[in-house]
Each structure stands twice: as structure tokens, then as C-alpha cells.
Amino acid sequence: MLRIESITLREVALALKEPFQISSGTQKQRRIFLLELTSADGVVAWSECVAAEFPNYGPETIDTCWFAIREWVAPRVFGRSFAGPEEVDPVLEHNFRGHHMAKAAVEMGAWELAARTEGVSLSAKLGGTRSSIRVGISLGIQDSPAALVEKARAALERGYRKVKIKIKPGADFEYVRAVREALGPEAPLMADANNAYGHESIASLQALDELGLMMIEQPLAWDDLLRHAHLQNLLKTPICLDESITSVERTEDMIHLGAGRIVNIKPGRVGGFTSSKAIHDLCAGHGIPVWCGGMLESGVGRGHNVALASLRNFTLPGDLSPSERYWEQDIVTPEWTMDGDGWIVVPADRPGIGVEVDRDRVENLTVRREELRAQ
């Protein structure tokens, strides 16, 4: 039986090593939102809410999530006994629309709590089978094609197995072509537009088709499947959907409409692990490869993503960069590392996510804290 007794919300300020620019904005600092859950038998588990400061990726923000968790999510789970963590998602979805990142933070925390209670790894608890995962890097928009080429070259030399290039109108074809020409036809490259294109700019997306990309991620609007289906018909390059995939039903829509051929699963965006597993299974049944996306998480969120990415159909490299890519120092020990061939190891022999939160460091970095308790 799983009973959640308290949830402590914390905001931690962590400076990114370098600013991260996507088509809809730039981040220099990451406001990290951590949850510490305690069970009735005194087991502790950490999770991370991946919402950002502004609603430029999805509609939620750190502040809407804080409010949603305090007002609606936590009160739903307190005072209940769950037979297992898979019972949390239906309780959170019943007559409660949206707020996926807020729900996911608690739902994923419940999975971690269950894994820690049983003394098994989160990967095993989720049904994961991979012992290591190939890693891709996500490169923000740079000042010039030459600057981007240097970053991409360094990433491949470091061992990354996929290089994702953020694009926007005015920083697309020329940038990606420069990287393709410098790094050769075999370099595993892809582009991510974060919704920057309208249907009128289809020609710029068609131009990318000759650059041999593994995929183009979310070129059109975040909630638009129909126009992605139209675009996919015009492209050889597979479209990968990120923002548009918010549930297993939206994934079914994608498949039926032909709106994309690859899915980026971010557990925060889809409401947690139960939904992620359903999307994973649906895609596996349709021969659609999936990979795990990232949201510039700290080592806590990274641990949840690594566990999820150990499931069988995560066949493409995930945006699961090691701690050193983002932070001077992470908030977990050990930090997440990647070997020279671009593999991150799933800590299958340790409980839960397999790393421990550095409490003193988190305490020092905390800018806001609130404890929620079962009545």
C-alpha cells in the first residue's frame, strides 16, 4: 500500500553553464522545481516538475504548477491508499483537465516512492529492460552557422549519438547545411523548431528535406496535428512530435492522421509515467520509434527520464545529456555521466532513480519552500 503523507515543494535556482535559446525564448537560469514526497512508512522520494518560468513551451509555468499542486493535485492523493503507483494517474485525471506537468510531478514521485519502498530501481519498477541508453545533445540557436558547426563538432567528438539543432525562421537552412557540410553525410543530425513555422512557411521546411536529417521536431503549432499531417505528406524527412503529444489519445490521432512518424516522450508533458508507458506501448505496436526528450532538468528529473528511457521501444538516442552539459555542479550524487561513446548507464542495481539528492546543497540553493501535509 502506498500512502503519501507529505509533499515539500521547493524552488531552487541553478545557473545554466551557457544560455539556451529556442525559437520562443532564451533561458540563462533554470528555476528548478523539486518535490520531496514522504510516505506513511517514512520512505522519501524526490521528483521534479519540469515547467519553465514562462508559458512559451506549453501552457503551464512553475507558478501555475505550484498553485495546481497545492490546491488540487496534493489534496487528491493525500489520505488515500494506493495499491500501486499506476492507480495515481486515474485519480488525478478524473474530472481534472490539463495541468499535466503539475500532475506528472506528483505521479512520478509516487512511482519513485513505490520503487524506494520496494528497494528496486525505478527502471525495473517501470518495466525497463535497457542497461544503458544512447544520448543526444540539444544545441540552442547560435549567433552564426560557424559557431553552431563548432558546437556540433565538439558534441560528436565528445561521443554524443545525435545532435539536435534548434531552428527558427532566419536561422534554419543555412545553419543546418553548414553543419551537414562540415560533419559529413553520416553525422546523426536533426532539427527542432519548437512551433516556429506557420503553414505559409512550408517552403523553408521543404528545403531542409535535402539535408538528410533523422527527423524534424515540432515544426508547426503546439496543438496542431492536421497541418503536421499535411506537411508530413510533403516531406521525406520524418516529423517527430513533441509539444503536440499530450496524451495517448493525441498519439493515436497522430498515427491515424499521419501527422508524424516519431514521438518524443517527455513524461512531464503527458502527465507522468502511466501515460508515458501507454504512449510507449501504443507506438511500439505501430512500429513508431520513440525517444525521451529533456526539459533542462536537474539530476533528479534526469533520473526519472533515464528510468523511462530504459523501456524497450526507446530506440533512438534521448536528450539525456550528463550533468556537466548543464551545470557547474548538479544537485545529486553521483552526478550523471556519459562515456566517450555516448552511453548513459541506467543505475539498475540501486533503489529508485539511483542517485541521492545533495540535501545541503539543495538547502543552500532553495529560494522558496512549502510543506503540504495530509490532514
- Of all residues in this chain, which one has the CB nearest to ligand OSB in the complex? 294
CA angle 191, 196, 198 (to 5 degrees): 115
What is the Cα 370 distance to its own chain's centre?
25
What's the min distance (Å) between Cβ of 293 and ligand OSB? 5
For residues 362 and 46, what is the distance between their CA atoms, to the nearest angstrom?
Answer: 12
Provide the angle, in degrees to the nearest 10, between the axes of the packed helices 173-183 and 145-158. 40
CB of 234 to Mg ion, least distance (A): 21
> Is 253 in a helix, a strand, or coil?
helix
Burial of 44 by CB count in 10 Å (0-12 exposed, 13-18 middle, 19+ buried)?
A: middle
Cβ atoms of residues 59 and 130 within 8 Å? no
Nearest alpha carbon to residue 212 among 193, 235, 228, 233: 235
Contacts by 95-99 with C-beta closer than 8 Å and gap 24+?
A: 96/72, 98/59, 98/60, 99/60, 99/64, 99/65, 99/68, 99/72, 99/73
Site for ligand OSB in 291-310 (CB under 6 A): 293-296
Nearer Cβ to ligand OSB (232/321) = 321
Which of residues 82 and 222 has its CB atom nearest to ligand OSB in the complex?
222
Half-sphere exposure of 342 (CA within 13 A, CB side): 19
Q: Which is nearer to Mg ion, 47 or 244 (CB)?
A: 244
CA-derived radius of gyration, the chain: 20
- At closest approach, how far in Å is the CB of 273 from ligand OSB? 18
Known catalytic membership, residue 166: yes
Cβ closest to Mg ion, residue 48 vs residue 243? 243
Contact positions vs Mg ion (CB under 5 A): 192, 217, 242
> CB 187 → ligand OSB: shortest distance, Å?
18
Classify the C-alpha dihedral 139-144-145-146 as positive or negative.
Answer: negative
Q: Which is nearer to Mg ion, 11 or 217 (CB)?
A: 217
CB of 175 to ligand OSB, least distance (A): 16
Considering 162, 166, 168, 236, which one is annotated as catalytic? Answer: 166
Interaction partner, residue 319 (ligand OSB, Mg ion, none; CB < 5-8 Å by kind): ligand OSB
Binding mask 310-329 for ligand OSB (x = CB under 6 A): ---------x-x--------
The answer to whether residues 309 and 320 touch, using CB atoms and an 8 Å cutoff, is yes
Between 88 and 296, CB nearer to Mg ion:
296
**Binding residue for ligand OSB, selected from 57, 111, 273, 314, defined by CB under 6 A:** 57
Verify binding: residue 107, ligand OSB, rule CB under 6 A.
no
CA distance 233 to 300: 39
Instruction: Give how far the C-alpha of residue 181 lies from the chain's centroid of Cα atoms, to the nearest Å.
Output: 30
C-alpha cell at 205: 521546411
Question: Which of ligand OSB, Mg ion, none binds 138 (CB below 5-8 Å, type-dependent)?
Answer: ligand OSB
CB of 266 to ligand OSB, least distance (A): 7
Q: Among all residues, which ones are annotated catalytic?
A: 166, 266
Binding site for ligand OSB (CB under 6 A): 22, 57, 138, 192, 194, 242, 293-296, 319, 321
